[in-house]
Amino acid sequence: MKWTNLTALVLATVFAGPVQADPEAERLALRSLYEQKFPGVDLEEFKNGVYAIDEKMREQWVEMEDFPPYEIAIDEGEELYNTPFTNGKSYADCFGEDPGVKHNYPMFDEAKGEVVTLEVAINNCRQENGEEALPWLVGELAEISAYMAYNSRGNNFEIKIDSPAAIAAYEHGKQFYYTRRGQMNFECRSCHQQNVGYMLRAERISPSLGHATHWPVYRGRWQYIGNIQKRFQECNIQVRAVPFEPQSEEYRNLEYFLTYMSNGMELNGPGSRR
């Protein structure tokens, strides 16, 4: 083991506790952890989740991607995105000419003092223009998000944490990740770090690095496209914990933390998963 990696591992252990957050050191430590576990896998590959570490599942997935099951959602999303609101304005008035902005989300809104995910930003845009908010997890909101993700493809994530309030939100999200919950008494880490690569029933557990790169996702088991917070709920339910509300402060901060961990990685959403 190179001593730099060893240092990173020690840092990972230290920073997992309730010490002052150093997001950048923590991001590098997480990368090192998976580098140690999967020495043959290029870290950039983790944007493909479990398909980076399971050859057989990867083959099936590559086949599925020949006719991407999320394509319809992108088309629907494009139409929704370009349909003007009743007041004549549109999403472009909120997000600018280029809808490809997903790699900047979630962002910490200093004025509001909270984390704003892309889904929250879309609904804020609607409400500021006199439209009703859309349901959070699936349907039109996920389709608009899919269209925006598609236009953001190829950009690297650039999540910023540059104020004490932003660091506090990140820290809160990190604590969520490292808190035991449910009847199984598992942290996110228990599965996605300590048991990464092992099978849980029919599923192989993926690394947390790259967990945020490819949303929203069309999931075979769902038969539709949904966003990352739907997956948070499932992972909570999996350990028999009560899931939080979509876009609750807990999940927004968790998404902020988890996406920061994917900083510098390429956005490749929308994605498909089994």
The contact set with ligand HEC (CB under 6 A) reads 49-50, 177, 186, 188, 190-192, 200, 203, 205-206, 211, 217, 228, 231-232, 235-236, 238-239, 254, 258, 273
Cα–Cα distance for residue pair 145/255, rounded to 1 Å: 15
**Which of residues 131 and 203 has its CB atom nearest to ligand HEC in the complex?**
203
The minimum distance between CB 135 and ligand HEC, in angstroms, equals 20
**Which of residues 103 and 211 has its CB atom nearest to ligand HEC in the complex?**
211
Listed residue (81, 77, 117, 70) closest to 258, CA to CA: 117
Angle, alpha carbons 122-238-211 (nearest 5°): 50
The minimum distance between CB 221 and ligand HEC, in angstroms, equals 10
**Which of residues 70 and 91 has its CB atom nearest to ligand HEC in the complex?**
70
On whether the CB atoms of residues 151 and 109 are closer than 8 A, the answer is: no
The minimum distance between CB 50 and ligand HEC, in angstroms, equals 4
Angle, alpha carbons 88-103-189 (nearest 5°): 130
**Which of residues 224 and 232 has its CB atom nearest to ligand HEC in the complex?**
232
Cα–Cα distance for residue pair 227/218, rounded to 1 Å: 9
Question: Radius of gyration over alpha carbons of the chain, in Å?
Answer: 18
**Which of residues 46 and 147 has its CB atom nearest to ligand HEC in the complex?**
46
State both tokens at 242: 């009560």
Cα–Cα distance for residue pair 228/49, rounded to 1 Å: 13
**Which of residues 78 and 210 has its CB atom nearest to ligand HEC in the complex?**
210
The minimum distance between CB 92 and ligand HEC, in angstroms, equals 29
On whether the CB atoms of residues 36 and 53 are closer than 8 A, the answer is: no
The minimum distance between CB 129 and ligand HEC, in angstroms, equals 31
**Which of residues 107 and 258 has its CB atom nearest to ligand HEC in the complex?**
258
The minimum distance between CB 264 and ligand HEC, in angstroms, equals 18
Q: What are phi and psi of 106, to 5 degrees?
A: -70, 150
The minimum distance between CB 208 and ligand HEC, in angstroms, equals 7
Cα–Cα distance for residue pair 91/183, rounded to 1 Å: 43
Cα–Cα distance for residue pair 246/19, rounded to 1 Å: 28
